[in-house]
Structure 1
Amino acid sequence: MVYRIGRVVAAAGAAAALLFGLAGCSASVPKEDVASSISSELGKQGIQAQNVTCPQDLNAEVGRSVRCEFQVDGQPVDAVATVSSLEGDTAKFDITTEARPVAKAVLEREVGKQVEQIAQATPETVSCAGDLPAEVGKTTPCTVTAQGEALDLTVTVTEVDGGRVNFSIESTG
């Protein structure tokens, strides 16, 4: 079985344009505007990004970038906004997404959902050893208890594409 974290890969290569104000010799796009543009561009791709935040303003110089973050179904994902061109008082920038490790809590929730769908039984507990690295072939062990029986599982990353991490779940017992 394979679970996909978000559909973030669809946003790779999205472009946005923002007006920026000139302040002395330097210009920048306010971090709130960058975050809003990222949210808007992801929305156009059908991605429901929550809590988009950027740590700083984006310097309006070609090649400059800022790494922002957002969440899809509770899973953190990075979005990098890179200035691709300047036209008058408009900065155009490309947005790419990058996967982060699947957080332990998100992984446990999704493993529980998958087990419930297959076994037609609601797990009593799901416990994974930690986050699942966003690297093909990496694994994390999980244990699911359902109907009084424990089942040991191995979760393996099968694909990382943009902000999406795909993984398979296999019984080790």
Structure 2
Amino acid sequence: MLAPLLLTAAALISCSVPTDRNLTREQLQDQIVEKVTQQSGAPPDSVSCPGDLTATVGASLDCTLADGGQQRRVSVTVGGAEGDRIELHIQQRIAEKTVTEQIADQVNRQIGRAPEWVSCPGDLSADSGATLRCELRDSGQTYGVTVTTVHRGGVTFDIRVDQQPQ
């Protein structure tokens, strides 16, 4: 079994923000920094959103959070709008590239060599219990890999390589 990997990430966060029916890029970035800092205890290195978000229920925007040399996608969705306040749902996802790199690093540490390749079908949700099924190739054999998000203070994920090749 491979050791768990610790990431400082936030799962689904809700907040209510005063607005004039739109949130500017700067307001969104500030809300993400505030909520991630509250949950992880430290601010991320940076947050970048591509534009403003209209205060319409269901409207969403994907932003990028950089922290510790790694980037994560942050989805911001309007959950409700009442008067001059909107409810935001902020969800982080651990990028596919980060997951594949960490699988390769863990395998390298465990068996003394990196696998030939690692492939995952997409990003891993930071929600506790979320799973992602990946594959790795080592010594000409393909193995399934299950990556599961768990919460141990911050967000971590466990990497488990199947015992038998596919």
Query: The TM-score by the shorter chain falls in which range?
Result: 0.5 to 0.7
5+ long unaligned stretches in structure 2: 125-130
Read off the aligned partner of 1:18 and give its amino acid letter: V
Of stretches 55-64 and 41-50 in structure 1, the one that deviates more from structure 2 is 41-50
Q: Are 1:98 and 2:98 matched, yes or no?
A: no
Within 5 A, what are the aligned runs for 1:1-173? 1-8=2-9, 10-12=10-12, 14-21=13-20, 27-46=21-40, 48=42, 49-103=44-98, 108=104, 114-115=109-110, 129-130=117-118, 132-133=120-121, 134=124, 136-141=132-137, 156-160=145-149, 165-168=157-160
**1: CA distance between counterparts of 2:105 and 2:41?**
20
Query: Deviations for 1:126-167, whole angstroms, at most 9, x for unmatched residues?
Result: 576255554633122469xxxxxxxx9x68233146986431
* TM-score, scaled to structure 2: 0.64
Greater C-alpha radius of gyration: 1
**2: CA distance between counterparts of 1:137 and 1:37?**
32
Cα RMSD, aligned residues only: 3.7
* TM-score, scaled to structure 1: 0.62
**2: CA distance between counterparts of 1:46 and 1:142?**
35
5+ long unaligned stretches in structure 1: 22-26, 144-151
Aligned residues: 150
**1: CA distance between counterparts of 2:52 and 2:6?**
28
